[in-house]
Structure 1
Amino acid sequence: MLDATCTPQILEHLQKSLTHTVYDTKWIPGTANFVAVGQHARGTGCLQVYQLEGTDAVVARSIEGTAGFKCSHFGAGRVSEPRLAVGTFDGKLQLWDLEQPKEPLLDLQAHASIINAIDAFGGQSYGYGPPELVTCGRDGCVRVWDVRQHDAPVAAFEPADSNNVRDCWCVAIGNSYDDQERCVLAGYDNGDVKMFDLRMNKLRWEMNVKNGVCGVQFDRRDIPMNKFVVTCLESQFHVFDARTQHPQKGFASVSQSISTGSTLWGVHHMPQNRDAVMLAAGDGSLSLWKYQYPDQRKVKDQDGKELGVAGSVQQLAQRSLSSQPVNSFDWSPDKQGLFVCSALDQCLRVGFVTKLHKL
C-alpha cells in the first residue's frame, strides 16, 4: 500500500466553458496543443485546435463540418504530420490536415450511421505494420481502414444476424509487434467483448461481461499482447491478462467496481507507465488505478495446458471534476501526468497527476 506522502493526486489546471458539446479530446503529438471535436447546437461538427497559454486554452484554429464529430485519433499518421482522423454522426470517416484544413484529405462513408469510436496504430516512428484505422458504429460493424486506400476497408467484421444487430460502442487496436500480427478488440451494448485477429481475418476470442461495454484498451499497442481493460455500465471494469489464452477458458481476468456506482465511460492507460490507468466515470469523476502482477502469470491445468493468472488492482487517486459524465480523456504522450478531458457540462479541463514517480 502507498502511504499519504507518496499517494498521487489528480489536480485541475484550467477549466474552459464552451457553447457546444465536446465528444472527444486528443493531444497533438510533440506539442503542448490539443484538439477537441464535437457538435454545435445546430447539428454541425466542431473541430478546434487549442494552445495552452498560462491558465487558459486559446482557440488557434476552428473547423466546422456538415455533421457532428463523435470521435478522433492521430495514431495512423507520422508524428511530424498533424493529421486527425475523425468519425462523424452520419457515419463518415474523415482525415484532416490541421495545417491546411480547407477540406478533408479523406471523406468516405464508413458506416451506415454514427461512428461511435476510432482507434489507430501504424506508420509511426515505432511499432510495425501499415498505417491502419479501426472504426465501429451503431450498425454493429467493425471495420479496418488503410489510410493509403480510400475505396474499401481492408478488413470488416459484420453482424452475423442482420435482424439482431448490437450497437458496437468501442474499439481498440493492439498486438502490433511485427509486420504481420495485429488484433482488434470490440465492445458491444449487450456486454459482448470480441477479439479479432487481423492476420487470420477471423474472430479469435469472445465473452460476455454482463453489462454494456463502454471502453476497451490494450495497455500498449506495439508489443505482444500483455493485458487489456474493459469498462462497463454499472460501475464495473475488468482487467484481462492477455499473455496466456487457454483453449477453453480464454484469458484470466480480475473484476472490480468503483465506489460511486456510476458508468465507466472510458479507460486510458498512461503512455509512460502501462500499469497505471485512468477511468472516466458517469458521475463526473476520474479515478487512477494501478495493476499489480501476480507472483506467477501462468500455471498448468489438470490437462497440462497453460492457464493465465490474473493480478489485482489498487485505486491510487480519485477526483470529482463535474456533475456531468466525463465523456473523453487523453494523456499527453510527451509530458507524464498531463491530461485533457471533456464532460457533458460543455467544459474542457486540463489537469495533471502528481507524484507519479512514486509508482
Structure 2
Amino acid sequence: MEFTTGPKILTHVHKEVQITTYDTKWIPSSARFVVLGSYARATGCIQIYELSGNDVKLAKELETRTSFKCGTFGASGLAERNLATGNFEGYLQLWDLDHAPDKPIMDIKVRTQRRAYTTLWMKAHTSIVNDIDGIGGQTKGYGAPELVTCGRDGAVRVWDVRQKDAPVASFEPAENIAARDCWAVAFGNSFNDDERSVLAGYDNGDIKLFDLRTGTVRLETNVGNGVCSVEFDRKEIAMNKFVVACLESTFCVFDARTFHPRKGYSSATERVPMDATVWGVRHLPQNREISMVLGGDGTLMLYKYQYPDQRVVMDTDGVPLGVTGTMNLLNQQNISTQPISSWDWSPDKEGLAVCGSFDQVIRVIIVTQLNRA
C-alpha cells in the first residue's frame, strides 16, 4: 500500500547497538534519550544518547547486574528528571542520571514483618517487572508523584516516590486462582488531585481498570488474546478513550466517556494490514487523535482516530451507551526485520520520536506533515 499524500514516516538516525533494547525514553526538556536493555552476558544496560545533527552520540553508559525491562520519567519533576526503572529480578529503582548515574538513588521495596522484631525487605515484584508508568511529577497530571508497576507475579502496585517501604495501593491475584502474567499498565483519569485510575492488561486478554480513589475495580473485560500494551489518549484529563494492543494483529479502541451498567465501555477492534503482533500504540503528545502502532514485523503504522457523529446513544431501555469511532491508517513504513519493542514521542518537538527494535538498532524517527493528517 502506497501513501502519496499526508504525513511521512522518515528515519532520521539509524544507530546499531550491541544490546537488546527493551525500552527507550526521551529525557524531558532535552535533546537526549535513554536506552534500557540487556547486554549479551545478561547484565543490565543504561545508555544516554544526545542528538548531534544527523547522528547521535553516546554520552553515558552504565552496566548493572540485572537487565532492565522498562522505565519512565513520569513521576519526576522537570528539575530532577529522575528515571524510574523496573528490571528482570523484580526491582523498582530510581536513578539521577545527571548527578549520580553510577548507582540508583533509591530502591523501592516492600517492607513486611516476619517476626516481632525482624523486618524483611522484599522486591517490588517476585520476578520480572513487565511494565511501568509514572504520573504527577511533571507539568501534566495532578496529585501525588506516583509510579505503577506490574509483573509476572500478576500483581499491579502503585508507589509514591516520596516513600519507599510500601506501595500505596496493591491489586493482587486471588489466592485460589493461578496468577495471570500482567504485561502492561498505564495511568489515566488524573484530572484533579483526587481522581486517578490504572489500566492493566494480562497475558490471557483480560483488561482491568482500577479506580485508585475508591480502591475498586471499575471495569473487567477480555479482548480475546494477550495484551501487549495499554494507554490512555491523555493521562491528565477525565477519561476519554484508551487503546489496547494485542498479540494477534489487532488493537482495540475503547470509548471511556460513557459507561454502560451491563455492556461497560463501547469498543472497536482494528486489524492491522500485516499478520504480526501489535507491540504497542503510542499517542502523539501534541494531538491525542494521532497514534503510532508498533508492528511485530518491524512496521510502523500511523493512525488517526475519527470520532463518530454521536458519541452517545440510548439503548432499548433508555440507558446511555457510548459509541466508538474509527481508526484510519495514514501511513505505514517497514523499518526493521524484527519487532519494534519500544517507542517514545518527544514531549517537546512534534513528530520527533525514538524507537528500539530487536535487530539491535536504535532509530530516531521524524513524522512530517502532521498538519495534513
Query: What is the TM-score normalised by the length of structure 2?
Result: 0.94
Paired residue type of 1:125:
T
* TM-aligned CA deviation for residue 63 of structure 1: 1.6
Matched, 1:20 2:19: yes
Q: Which residue of 2 aligns with 1:105?
A: 105
Q: Distance in 2 between matches of 1:250 and 1:331?
A: 30
Q: Which residue of 1 aligns with 2:322?
A: 308
Distance 1:4 1:25, change over 3 A: closer
Distance 1:142 1:302, change over 3 A: same
* TM-aligned CA deviation for residue 4 of structure 1: 6.0
Classify the secondary structure of the residue corresponding to 2:104: coil
Unaligned runs of 5+ in 2: 109-122
Q: Distance in 1 between matches of 2:79 and 2:271?
A: 40
Q: Deviations over 1:283-322 (max 9, x none)?
A: 0111000100011100122222111011111000100010
Aligned residues of 1:168 and 1:186 also touching (Cα < 8 A): yes
Distance 1:355 1:328, change over 3 A: same
| Equivalent residue runs for 1:93-172 within 5 Å | 93-99=92-98, 100-108=100-108, 109-161=123-175, 163-172=177-186
Q: Which residue of 2 aligns with 1:72?
A: 71
Query: What is the TM-score normalised by the length of structure 1?
Result: 0.97
Q: Which residue of 2 aligns with 1:181?
A: 195
Q: Deviations over 1:49-101 (max 9, x none)?
A: 10011222111111222200000000001112121000000000000000121
Matched, 1:269 2:269: no
Classify the secondary structure of the residue corresponding to 1:77: coil
Paired residue type of 1:281:
G
Match of 1:210 among 203, 224, 230: 224
Q: Deviations over 1:31-53 (max 9, x none)?
A: 11100000111111100110011
Paired residue type of 1:107:
D
Matched, 1:47 2:16: no
* TM-aligned CA deviation for residue 147 of structure 1: 0.1
Q: Which residue of 2 aligns with 1:56?
A: 55
Q: Deviations over 1:302-356 (max 9, x none)?
A: 2221110111110001000100000000000000000100100111000111110
Q: Which residue of 2 aligns with 1:283?
A: 297
Q: Deviations over 1:195-229 (max 9, x none)?
A: 00000111110111111000100000000000000
Matched, 1:82 2:81: yes
Matched, 1:222 2:236: yes
Q: Distance in 2 between matches of 1:62 and 1:81?
A: 19
Aligned residues of 2:3 and 2:331 also touching (Cα < 8 A): no
Distance 1:4 1:279, change over 3 A: closer
* TM-aligned CA deviation for residue 122 of structure 1: 0.4
* TM-aligned CA deviation for residue 5 of structure 1: 6.2
* TM-aligned CA deviation for residue 163 of structure 1: 4.6
Classify the secondary structure of the residue corresponding to 2:259: strand
Paired residue type of 1:197:
D
Paired residue type of 1:355:
Q
Q: Deviations over 1:222-261 (max 9, x none)?
A: 0000000001011011100000000110001111100111
Distance 1:205 1:163, change over 3 A: closer
Unaligned runs of 5+ in 1: none
Q: Deviations over 1:264-286 (max 9, x none)?
A: 00110000000001011100111
Classify the secondary structure of the residue corresponding to 1:357: helix
Q: Distance in 1 between matches of 2:6 and 2:55?
A: 28
Classify the secondary structure of the residue corresponding to 1:214: strand
Aligned residues of 1:146 and 1:153 also touching (Cα < 8 A): yes
Q: Distance in 2 between matches of 1:213 and 1:161?
A: 23
Aligned residues of 1:6 and 1:355 also touching (Cα < 8 A): no
Q: Distance in 2 between matches of 1:67 and 1:276?
A: 36
Aligned residues of 2:295 and 2:340 also touching (Cα < 8 A): yes
Q: Which residue of 2 aligns with 1:239?
A: 253
Q: Deviations over 1:132-155 (max 9, x none)?
A: 000000000000000001001000
* TM-aligned CA deviation for residue 162 of structure 1: 5.2
Aligned residues of 2:297 and 2:337 also touching (Cα < 8 A): yes
* TM-aligned CA deviation for residue 6 of structure 1: 4.1
What's the C-alpha RMSD, in Å, of the aligned pairs? 1.2
Classify the secondary structure of the residue corresponding to 2:327: strand
* TM-aligned CA deviation for residue 124 of structure 1: 2.1
Matched residues, percent identical? 58
Match of 2:270 among 248, 256, 261: 256
* TM-aligned CA deviation for residue 127 of structure 1: 2.7
Q: Distance in 2 between matches of 1:233 and 1:31?
A: 34
Q: Distance in 2 between matches of 1:273 and 1:125?
A: 17
Q: Distance in 1 between matches of 2:136 and 2:18?
A: 35
Classify the secondary structure of the residue corresponding to 1:35: strand
Q: Distance in 2 between matches of 1:267 and 1:105?
A: 31
